[in-house]
Amino acid sequence: MRTRAAVALEAGKPLEVMEVNLEGPKAGEVLIEIKATGLCHTDEFTRSGADPEGLFPSILGHEGAGIVLEVGEGVTTLKPGDHVIPLYTPECRECYSCLSGKTNLCTAIRNTQGQGLMPDGTTRFSMLDGTPIYHYMGCSTFANHTVMPEIALAKVRDDAPFDKICYIGCGVTTGIGAVINTAGVEIGSTAAVFGLGGIGLNVIQGLRMAGADKIIGVDLNDDKEEMGRKFGMTHFVNPSKVDNTVQAIVDITKTDKDQIGGVDYSFDATGNVKVMRDALECSHRGWGVSVIIGVAPAGAEISTRPFQLVTGRVWKGTAFGGAKGRTDVPKFVEWYMDGKIEIDSMITHKLTLDQINEGFDLMHAGKSIRAVVEF
């Protein structure tokens, strides 16, 4: 079949919206009509050329929602008409990682996924002249139709709005999951969140759900303060307006009982390795846990004095908020539909596929939280 897609032809170039060929689903695969997709900073990271795994030409996008149109041979858990959210972290429930119960990082198809290929080593997308187009993060949601493995699709209730629940495909689950699954934040904790974008605001929302006490938001953009407070942030620090960001956060957390100061939990949602260091170092001596969510460019490395860890701070990272996609994503959709989590106000812009590059412009200008393309 043919479908319309925004294709990343070359690193650093705007996406080009065009007709592409899409082969039908092979064994174990499913054809999806994508109804909506969010634009995550990770898409921009790859579009820009900063991603060491970046491949071109490719169809980016990994934060989508849609409807099953056709299933390939052997698919048993999905049928045409089912509503689904694509998972860049699949859940096969059979690989060594899934069976370990210790991680959400299913390894069943990670190798081919990282090479922009379907599990059989080929692509389903091609240009009209036959040139293969790579898949992206196993999803490629910047296309009106896509083909995905059955194990990388979460079936969700069919009354949930696509233009909102697409955000559960990455940002919402990553942010809230980082708090609940990765950090395990307790009631009354103090926390700092670096980067108040599409991920950081969901970390803040997760902290409020977990019953955190002081929630300190950190961003270079003062315009992010209002949204942060709406979602539960209690203090705001703009690093460009203080002499020392770490000290500013430590000072906020000092109390009569605790003259040392430092947050119980910190989260990097910027992808900047200097910020990651600040996030670790503002956490409390003896027990502070700092979670890296941000994705750093090729070649970037984190550093700190080992003494920071010797004195009890713990550095962790999280992918997709530690969520097991097929199990947890339907629950996030339930929570949204029950009003336990808020999504609507974070979707600040709605675009058509033809306007998709404007979404990246809004991201760069710091004007959007999430821009969503609706098909």
Smallest distance from ligand AHE to CB 139, Å: 10
Catalytic residue (choose from 106, 139, 166, 282) = 106
Nearest partner of 199 among 373, 336, 40, judged by Cα: 40
Q: Is 166 a catalytic residue?
A: no
* Helix axes of 356-364 and 41-48: crossing angle, nearest 10 degrees: 100
Q: Based on the shown chain and the rule CB under 5 A, indicate whether residue 279 belongs to the binding site for Zn ion.
A: no
Catalytic residue (choose from 47, 62, 145, 326) = 62
Strand partners, 19: 4
Residue 99 CB-density burial (10 A; 0-12 exposed, 13-18 middle, 19+ buried): exposed
| Spatial contact of 14 and 27, defined as CB atoms under 8 Å apart | no
Smallest distance from ligand NAD to CB 194, Å: 5
156, 170, 196, 363: which one contacts Zn ion (CB under 5 A)?
170
Q: Is 92 a catalytic residue?
A: yes
Smallest distance from ligand AHE to CB 88, Å: 6
Q: Based on the shown chain and the rule CB under 5 A, indicate whether residue 42 belongs to the binding site for Zn ion.
A: yes
Q: Is 42 a catalytic residue?
A: yes
CA distances (Å), 58 to each of 16, 133, 264, 269, in order? Answer: 11, 5, 41, 25
Q: Work out the number of other CB atoms within 10 angstroms of the CB of residue 31.
A: 23
**In this complex, which beta carbon is closest to ligand AHE, that of residue 88 or of residue 236?**
88
Q: Is 170 a catalytic residue?
A: yes
Sequence-distant (6+) residues with CB within 8 A of 288 are 262, 263, 264, 265, 266, 280, 282, 312, 313, 314
Strand partners, 44: none
Q: Based on the shown chain and the rule CB under 6 A, indicate whether residue 53 belongs to the binding site for ligand AHE.
A: yes
Q: Is 235 a catalytic residue?
A: no
Secondary structure element (H or E) that encloses residue 138, with its range: none
Instruction: Return the range that interacts with ligand AHE (CB under 6 A); candidates 46-54, 178-186, 202-210, 328-336.
Output: 46-54
170, 250, 276, 333: which one contacts ligand AHE (CB under 6 A)?
170
Q: Is 139 a catalytic residue?
A: no
Give dist(CA 16, CA 278) in Å, integer. Answer: 38
Nearest partner of 63 among 159, 171, 152, judged by Cα: 171
Binding mask 201-240 for ligand AHE (x = CB under 6 A): ----------------------------------------
Binding mask 302-321 for ligand AHE (x = CB under 6 A): -----------------xx-
* Closest-approach residue to Zn ion (CB): 40
| Spatial contact of 2 and 19, defined as CB atoms under 8 Å apart | yes
Catalytic residue (choose from 139, 166, 170, 282) = 170
Contact set with ligand AHE (CB under 6 A):
40, 42, 51-53, 89, 105, 110, 170, 295, 319-320
Contact set with Zn ion (CB under 5 A):
40, 42, 170
Catalytically active residues, by annotation: 40-42, 62-63, 92, 95, 98, 106, 110, 170, 370
